[in-house]
Structure 1
Amino acid sequence: MAEEFTVVPVAHVIGGRTEPTDDYWGGTRSIIRITPDFPADSTEGLAEFSHLEIVFRFHLTDPTDLHPAARRPRDNPAWPPVGIFGHRNMRRLNWLGVSRCRLLKVDGLDLHVEDLDAVAGTPVIDIKPWFTEMGPRGETHQPTWPTEMLADYYSRADEQDVVSGEK
């Protein structure tokens, strides 16, 4: 049975990139500005953490661009078709994304972060400190295509010309 619920943003992304792209998110700095509905001490203790886990909404996604059936990641014929739950992209029923980023500084309700792969204006649904103990348990594994596909994901944008050999 279908179930619906309402989600209210707790923050928005300020600054950083304005256009979503597939790669070169490394070094991207932005601010997660928590809504003033929260008390100033809602960020108390957060500065002790190195990383945050951010749940956000892909607000720029075209709602008609949903692909639940299996398809090749980035339309690359060298990679196998995988279903919607085998992807981490924006083409999802609820348009939710999860990102782990470095916390640089807490300034009141402004969280200065790096390597957040969400663009300016993105509604943030939740903010969680990264606990090492909440990471994967046991041995991890994955197919080879994500490693190939994400080789430049966190490369710096200013290194793009160096990577491609062009200037």
Structure 2
Amino acid sequence: MHNPRPEPRPITLHPVGTVHNNITKPTLVAGKDGLSLQGSHAAMVERSRSTGTEVSEIVIREDLEDILTGIEEYSHLVVLYWAHAVPGERRTLTRVHPMGRKDFPEVGIFSTCSPARPNPVLTTVVRLVQREGNVLRVTGLDAINGSPVIDIKPYASEFYPREGVRIPAWMQQIHDEIGRRDRS
């Protein structure tokens, strides 16, 4: 039977690795009044486009190196990481204007890709450039330097829908403004 108010039980996650790159600040900052861009819209667009070509390293804990066995056979990976730069008190936002833009409708946080979430687990698909021991070199990673990596999965397009995918007009506008990042 459905319990409308389940008692929350804490869970424990242990990072499997860490992101190393030149991104030192998050694009979006969560404040008590919502989201705001750090810098100009043009700078955000340029940064979003550049993540498609800039190489980041994901350094997996040495004691877990064996979990990477066979990963070189994949061209793309799904990386789940923790948005560690979002302070706990900023994870209470429930509604935001996407990208901090007042010209977009205010929506629930789960309707966005915002890092200001109750559990700031973020995900992105990256291109695997190289594996060297416990280090993965990838492009397309939008995590900031030092972000804890909590999981990596192979990307297999057959697991994801390709037809009939619907997104809101404001999300399509963001995609159009940024342009498709080169992850091929």
TM-score normalized by the length of structure 2: 0.76
The answer to whether the Cα contact below 8 Å between 1:115 and 1:154 also exists between their aligned partners in 2 is no
The answer to whether the Cα contact below 8 Å between 2:99 and 2:114 also exists between their aligned partners in 1 is no
Separation (CA, whole Å) in 2 of partners of 1:92 and 1:31: 25
Of 78, 87, 91 in structure 2, the residue corresponding to residue 53 of structure 1 is 78
What does residue range 1-167 of structure 1 map to in structure 2 within 5 Å? 1-21=7-27, 22-23=44-45, 24=47, 25-39=51-65, 41-136=66-161, 138-150=163-175, 151-152=177-178
Structure with bigger helix share is 2
The answer to whether the Cα contact below 8 Å between 1:104 and 1:113 also exists between their aligned partners in 2 is yes
Deviations 1:80-100 (A, max 9, x none): 111011011110011110111
Q: Partner amino acid for 1:93?
A: P
Separation (CA, whole Å) in 2 of partners of 1:136 and 1:68: 30
TM-score normalized by the length of structure 1: 0.84
**Which shifted more, 89-98 or 12-21?**
12-21
Q: Secondary structure at the match of 1:59?
A: coil
The answer to whether the Cα contact below 8 Å between 2:59 and 2:136 also exists between their aligned partners in 1 is yes
Separation (CA, whole Å) in 1 of partners of 2:59 and 2:115: 22
Q: Partner amino acid for 1:147?
A: Q
1:68 Cα deviation from its structure 2 partner: 3.5
Sequence identity percentage: 31
Q: Partner amino acid for 1:62?
A: P
Q: Secondary structure at the match of 1:47?
A: helix
Q: Unpaired runs of 5+ in structure 2?
A: 1-6, 28-43
Q: Secondary structure at the match of 1:37?
A: helix
Separation (CA, whole Å) in 1 of partners of 2:74 and 2:113: 25
